[in-house]
Every structure is written in structure tokens, then in C-alpha cells.
Structure 1
């Protein structure tokens, strides 16, 4: 009788060990390895990361965030070895005027919408800067200058990140539906999508030429971080009572991307190596998108709130629609 009673108890005691097979740490590393293997596409890696972030507690949230930023920059530089300098120079020169107009218009519109929705001043400015320039990079650059709190930064990052995820998934479908050519789609991605990672991911799905145009114009757009940061610092110094001056962070990887393009164009003897580095860059991007996706949690969604999200969505829709219309009807082109 003792044996009959103990056997079910013993079986019950073994049950708690079974869920260890689905331990968040194990799933995180499996997902990251799969994304880095090249067996899945960037959108699938992103969706997988988002699913992980929304359903499980992230065991390495802080480390993953730091790694994704570094890996993104390295991947963009490596993908520069697949670019032709002639295309880079032409796209950058043509895209400079377009980015100047779009950034100015987006900044003005974003601040007006934020004021109408009564979004807190710093949150509104961070969301506007992130949408107008280059998403998280712009927010990271201007946040210290404005002395924004961690909550305000999280709200802005969360809003921009949500829209980036949506853009990465729907932009290629819209481009195919409208029969945009490679140059048109690349330019649209560069002008309408926030973060470099999402621009590269969406453009890469569309084609190599779209990737070349999108990445180059996007990086030219990202250079506006410097003047916007300087203007913000000048404005804040007039209001600051602490007397401290924040440093402006320059995105170094943009210049390394240009160096990689130069090497790929003028050093044909390294063509095989350039092709390998370009492939590694694409693989690194896929892994980066998985890491970015895992950073989206229920807590992030709660922090975003309604008003900042509405501001970000309205601004993003206006910028995306206006730039698409201008490109589709030939008002702007590359």
C-alpha cells in the first residue's frame, strides 16, 4: 500500500522539472541562434522576437538592448561592402534636399500635434525627433540634452519601436501593390521609416537596388542628428539652471559605412571578401531584429500610453503618406 501511495506523489514531484525545457533563457538563445543562422528572413525573426517579448519575461533585457545597438551598427557597416560608391554619392546628394524638407516638416508638425494632444513637452519632442530623423538613435542623442527622464525616454522609444515593427512588415506589401520600382521604394523607406534597422530590413526584402538607395539616403538623413542636437543644446542651455552642457553623440558607423563602400568600389581584388562581409551584415541584421523584437513587452506597451502613441501614429502616417505620394507621382525621385 505504501508503494501505491508514494508512486503518484513521486510522479507529481517530477512535473515541475518539465517546464525547464521551455525556460526563457533557453528559448532566447535558441531564437537568437536561429535568427543568426540565416535560415529565417528578417520579418520572421522580428515577429519571433516580438512573440517572445510579449509572452515571456526577458532574462537578459538590458544586455540584449546593448547588444542589439552594437550589432546593428556593425551589420550596417558590413553591408556597406555590398554598396557601390557611385550609387552612394548620387543617392546621398539627391536625398539631401528631400531629407532636409521632410525633417523640417516632420519636426514642425510633430510638435504641433503633440501640443494639441497635450503630450508632455519632453516626450513630445523625443517622439518628434525620433520620427523626423532616425528613431532610437535620434532619441538617444537628444534625450541627455533635454535632460529627459527614463520614463519619458521609454515612452518615446516604445512609440517609435511599435511603428518601426509595423513598417517593416507592411511597407514591402504596399510597395509591391503599387508596383514601385527599386529606387522609389528605397527612397520611400529612407524618408518614412524611423530606425535604420527597419529601413534596411524592409528595403532588403524588396531588392538590392532598393537596399542601396534606402540605406544611403537613410544614413544621410541620420546625419541631421548633429545639427538638431546642437540646436537643441543651444535652446536648452538658455533654459537650464544647472549650467551643464550635454555632449552630442555622432553616429560613427555612418562614416565606416562610407569607408566600406569606398573599399568595395575601388578595391576589386577584395571582391570575395566584400561579398562575405556583406552576407555577414545581412545575417547580423536578422539577428538584430530578433533582439529588437524581444525588447517589446507588455510593460513597454503600458508605458507608451494613448496620447504619445496617437501623436506618433498621426505624425508617421502623414510623413509616410506624403512622401509616398510625392515619390509615386514623380515629384521627387532618385
Structure 2
């Protein structure tokens, strides 16, 4: 009862933003519910002059609800099926992820941008957009404005990729298989991968959507090692700066462990789509709800004023990933 008394108002506000955002995301998938919820949240917070009664629930949603969403995401991942179908793409995926993270680090050094923003843009660009940012943000203790900024950057290049890549693929003479790999490795959000592959199928009367989706799901598996490495790095850094002892148990985020367990359960017990599909949908909705809280905690004026460096970082990651994806296809003899 005390929990709802303390957090109820903020939870309800986030829910009221999340529902229309979820519906808008369904209507305009290339934009997606998380982007709508952040935008609505930022607008609402300009109107609310006093958020005192809402703050506890908003903060709970942006942290705990976000972590819960990542756990439910694991139920949509049958590890055996994904690896069996996506193993051909593994060399390309590993190359593009490495490229994005290296570029993000270089841009962090050159532009002197916030380290958390660089990590989130690098991870979001290379793995799976909003889901990767949702999983990584609590591990590196990113604040809400850093999360909102990175989501906005990823969204921008998602939309461009969904619109440009089908024509680019045709101009380059990609095969159907080649475009499926290109879309699955070089576009970071599922909705934009789907949009680009669907557009390609419509033009070429092909069936690349399934292949692109499998490649995209294979990329999502990288959430597990990336979050673990970042957790260990962050814990060791805290040890050096604060003098606290390093503990693997403390470094490993429990919600990532539950995400892995959910994936293992789905894999071992071969959970049917009738079970996993609603859990995946719940995960998406909870991410949208968490993004509404992040929007409510974000100063839109400050976000716009400080946004050019993260956008430039995202652009460089995006170009680097696309180039390496095509180059690896050429080396492997796929294209």
C-alpha cells in the first residue's frame, strides 16, 4: 500500500503517456513507440510546473520498469534457433559491432562528448537500438537525458536507413540474400529493419524479411556479453576512483542474469509463440512506458542545445557499420 501511495501518481502518468505512444508506434512503426513516448514526456514536463508528487513513480519507472522490460525481452529469444539460422551472419555482426564501438570511442576522444552518451550511441547503433540502450543504461548508470539523447540519435538514422537502404541496395546490385544481411546488420532497430526489408520485397517480389529479422535477432544476443563487460569495467573503475573492492557478483547486473535465464527457459522448453509473443509485446510496452518516464525527466531545451556531437557520433557509427557490412559481404563472397 505504501508503495502505491508513494509511486502511484508517477506510474499512472507514465502509463497515460505510454498507451497513446504504443498506439502511435503501431500506426507509424518506422518511428516507434519509444520515440513518441519520449517526445510526449518532454512536452508534458514543460507543462508540469511541479512534479513533486510524480517524481518517485517516474524515477521507479525509468529504472525498475526499464530493467523488467529487458528481462521480458529474453522470452522472445530461442538461442538455438537464432544461432542455427543466423550463424552465417556472425562474422559480419562481430565486425559491425566492433566497428561501431571503436568509432564511438574515437569520437568520444575527439569531440570530448559525455562517455555514457558515446557508449549508448555506439551500443545502440551496433546491436539493436532502443533495446540495447535499455539494457546498457542501468549498467553504466546513465541518466535520463543521456538515454533520451541516444534514443533520439538512433531514431534519426533508423528513419534514414529505412527510406534509403532499399534504393541503395538496388544501386549496388545486392542479391536478395545480400540485402537481407545488409538490412539485418546495418539497421539497428527491428521496426526499421522490417520497414526496409518489406520495401525491398515489394520492389523485388522476394522474401528477405524473414532473413533480415533472423540476422537482427542474432545481433540482439550481443546484449549479454556487452553488458557484462561494461558492468565489470564500471565496477573496476569505481574501485580505482572510490577505493571500493571489486566484486563480480556486485558488478553483474541481476536483470541481465534474468534476461539470460528467460532466454534459456525459452530455448530449453521450446516455449510456443502463443506464450512468448505476449511476453515480447509486454516487453515492448514496458520499454515505451520507461521511455515516457525518461522523457518526463528530460530538459528538451538542453537536449537540443547539446545534441550535435552525439548526432555526429551516431552518423559516423552508422556510416561505418554500413560500409563494414558491405565490405564483409564482399570478402565472404555473398555479394
The TM-score, its normalising length taken from structure 2, stands at: 0.64
Matched, 1:31 2:25: no
Number of the residue aligned with 1:11 = none
Q: Look up the match of 1:283.
A: 281
1:242 is aligned to 243
Residues 129, 139 of structure 1: 8 Å contact kept: no
Task: Report if aligned partners of 2:69, 2:283 keep a CA contact under 8 Å in 1.
Answer: yes
Q: CA 1:328 to 1:170, structure 2 compared with 1: closer, same or farther past 3 Å?
A: farther
- 1:55 corresponds to: 43
Q: Give the match for residue 135 of structure 1.
A: 133
C-alpha distance in structure 1 between counterparts of 2:18 and 2:124, whole Å: 30
Q: How many residues align?
A: 285
Deviation, 1:275, is 2.6
The answer to whether residue 198 in structure 2 is matched with residue 201 in structure 1 is no
Alignment RMSD (CA, Å): 4.2
Give the drift of 1:209.
3.5
1:243-296 deviation per Cα after TM superposition (whole angstroms, max 9, x unaligned): 3435132623244224424433xxxxx7xxx13224324533552464355333
Looking at structure 2, the residues matched to 220 and 296 of structure 1 have their Cα atoms a distance apart, in angstroms, of 27
- Deviation for aligned residue 1:214: 0.9
Match of residue 83 from structure 2: 88
Aligned to 1:67: 65
Q: Which runs of 5+ in 1 are unaligned?
A: 1-22, 144-149, 265-269
Displacement after TM superposition at 1:63 (Å): 4.3
Whether the aligned pair in 1 keeps the contact of 2:103 and 2:317 (CA below 8 Å) is no
For 1:182 and 1:71, the matched residues in 2 are separated by: 33
The match for 2:202 is none
Provide closer, same or farther for how the CA distance between residues 105 and 324 of structure 1 changes in structure 2, counting only shifts above 3 A: closer
* Counterpart in the other structure of 1:116: 110
Once the two structures are superposed, the pairs formed by residues 134-173 of structure 1 within 5 Å of their partners are 134-143=132-141, 153-173=143-163
Aligned residues of 1:186 and 1:212 also touching (Cα < 8 A): no
Q: Matched residues in 2 for 1:183 and 1:84: separation?
A: 22
CA apart distance, 1:106? 3.0
Match of 2:166 in 1: 176
**Would the alpha carbon gap of residues 188 and 155 (structure 1) be closer, same or farther in structure 2, given more than 3 Å must change?**
farther
Larger Rg: 1
Partner of 1:218: 220
Contact 2:70 2:283 in 1 (8 A): yes
Aligned twin of 2:262: 256
Q: Give the match for residue 320 of structure 1.
A: 321
Instruction: Using structure 1 for the length normalisation, give the TM-score.
Output: 0.64
2:75–2:279 contact (8 Å) kept in structure 1? yes
- Given that 2:32 and 2:191 are in contact with CA atoms closer than 8 Å, whether structure 1 keeps it comes out as no
User: Is the CA contact (8 Å cut-off) linking 1:77 and 1:281 kept in structure 2?
Assistant: no
Aligned to 2:244, the other structure's residue is in SS state coil
| Residue in structure 1 matched with residue 9 of structure 2 by the alignment | none
Deviations 1:269-325, CA, capped at 9 Å, x for gaps: x7xxx1322432453355246435533366156247145424532443333332443
Cα displacement (A) at 1:226 = 2.2
Q: Is the 8 A contact 1:99 1:191 kept in 2?
A: yes
